[in-house]
Amino acid sequence: MNRRNFLQHALTASAASILPVRWVFAEKRPSGLKPVDISTMKWTKAEDLPDYYTILNTNPLNAHPAEHLLDPAITPANVSFVRWNGSMPDFDKIDPKTWTLTVDGESVVKSRTYTINELKSKFKHRTQNLVLECGGNSRKNFFPGTKGNQWNNAAVYCSEWTGVLLSDVLKDCGVKEDAVYIGHHGIDKHLSGKGPAISRGVPIEAAMNDNALVAWAMNGDDIPFRHGYPLRIVFAGRPASVSQKAATGISIRNKVHDGTKMEAPAYQVPKYPIAPGEKVPNEDFEIIEEMIVKSLITFPQTGVELPLGKTQEVRGHAWAGLREVVKVEVSYDYGTRWHEAELRQPVNKGAWQQWRINLNLPRQGYYEIWAKATDSKGDSQPVVQPQWNPKGYLFNGCHRIAVRVA
Ligand SMILES: Nc1nc2c(c(=O)[nH]1)N[C@H]1C(S)=C(S)[C@@H](COP(=O)(O)O)O[C@H]1N2
Ligand SMILES: [Mo]
């Protein structure tokens, strides 16, 4: 067993509720005492990330954890996937006291600039658990394969965000009748050094809803550098690419925003069904506005050996873009029979939902456990693969784990 595998095993053994962080002098601490982890805030390089991350790319930094590390209902920052499109800002030079967010654009009544302190004092604070899922989450499952980061199923997390409603800020500036979209701006540059790394946006209706925040805190602390310090625009239910990190501005647009990575085929899918592997002209793509129904098995960890004759709890999360999940089913015989899991309501709109089920795996041997969620409009997850698309977005096929009963 190499070091990486060993750590993964060590982490599972110590139960999913214990946060896998590197602790200084951990062996000298009294048992039961959880030290305050100060290191996680500033992880900005591949070598800062603990070994339980898989690094897909060092520059820009792209990394994901194993699925079972997402077991807690609120994802700790030290297991959240990390995705940058270009060079990361020089975070050490950022002073949150002088950081500003400017609202402008063709369709703003009055352009304004806010410091973080002004946002904090002027608008009502909100705290919400919101799912952020990369549009390319689970890309590695597509067949034929598609280019881009080969994300496993863990390019998703649900953390607790604190900030103000984006709509309160936009209303403070005034939104003209002809507004159709907003565009986001940050400070990180394209790897070439020229132009922004990413500047995406959402329809104006999405900006005015109650699950869009301008946030300065994640899980009750400052947002860690890599997740968008010191200010992040956060949207639930949409591809996480619209949740601009280190945000400096918002333009209220009278047309669909035309910033970097808004152009096809980035974050877009074909308008019509195509065969796997088929080529599509750029003008036949459309923007992904919403994420779709999906679930994750976070316990047990794939690959474990389970004792025969013992009831086994299987659990995880389910979410459905702008909809709610109404049912989660589990199968351990390749979909021959499905067993309905207990399912919790979301703690707030935009949060993922916990599910659990007790399984009695009937005899010794090898099993695959599959999970399938169904949303409030009756859509559920394909068991093989969803509509193939050239950039490998929106994979929501059932999550599968394998276990052995001995
Ligand atoms: N400033 C900035 N914001 C960004 C990005 C980026 O490259 N720069 N990437 C986007 C994409 S594609 C994703 S999936 C999420 C990733 O958020 P995370 O790193 O907190 O997981 O951030 C989004 N916001
Ligand atoms: Mo993404």
Give the pLDDT confidence of 173-228 residue by residue, as tens digits: 999 999 999 999 999 999 999 999 999 999 999 999 999 999 999 999 999 999 99
All domains of the chain, ordered by start, with CATH?
Answer: 91-262 (3.90.420.10), 294-405 (2.60.40.650)
Ligand 2 centre to CA of 295 (Å) is: 18
pLDDT attached to residue 29: 59
pLDDT computed for residue 2 by the predictor: 40
Specify the higher pLDDT residue, 14 or 225. Answer: 225
Element holding 128 (H helix, E strand): strand 125-133
Mutate which of 158, 241, 262, 393 for ligand 1? The one with the most ligand atoms within 8 Å of its CB, which is 241
Determine whether the shortest distance from the Cβ of 68 to ligand 1 is under 6 A: no
pLDDT at 23 over 60: no
Longest dimension (CA), the chain: 69
DSSP string, 185-241: EESPBPTTSSSBS---EEEHHHHTSTTEEEEEEETTEEPPGGGTTT-EEEESSSBGG
State the average pLDDT over residues 72-89: 97
Considering the entire predicted model, what is its pTM? 0.91
The 10 Å CB-count burial string (b at 16+, else e) for 220-254 is: eeebbbbbbbbbbbbbbbbbbbbbbbbbbbbbbbe
**Residue-wise burial string across 260-277, b where 16 or more C-beta atoms lie within 10 A, e elsewhere:** bbbebbbbbbbeeebeee
- Contact of 277 with 388, CB cutoff 8 Å: yes
Question: Closest ligand 1 atom, CA of 82?
Answer: 19
Mean pLDDT, rounded, for 116-145: 98
| Distance (Å) from CA 359 to ligand 1 centroid | 37
How far apart (Å, rounded) are the C-alpha atoms in residues 218 and 215? 8
- Ligand 1 atom at shortest distance from the alpha carbon of 186: 1
| Pick from 25, 77, 10, 16: nearest CA to 49 | 77
Q: Is the pLDDT of residue 384 over 80?
A: yes
Give pLDDT, residue 3.
39
pLDDT of the residue at 27: 60
Mean pLDDT (the chain, rounded) = 92
User: Which residues does 47 contact at the CB level (< 8 Å), separation at least 6?
Assistant: none
Measure the CA–CA gap between 364 and 305, rounded to whole angstroms.
10
Which residue type is seen at 387?
Answer: Q
Ligand 1 pocket mutation, candidates 83, 184, 395, criterion most atoms within 8 A of CB? 83
How confident is the model over 124-152, as a mean pLDDT? 98
382 CB neighbour count, 10 Å cutoff: 12
Tens digit of pLDDT for each residue in 31-55?
665 555 556 899 999 999 999 999 9
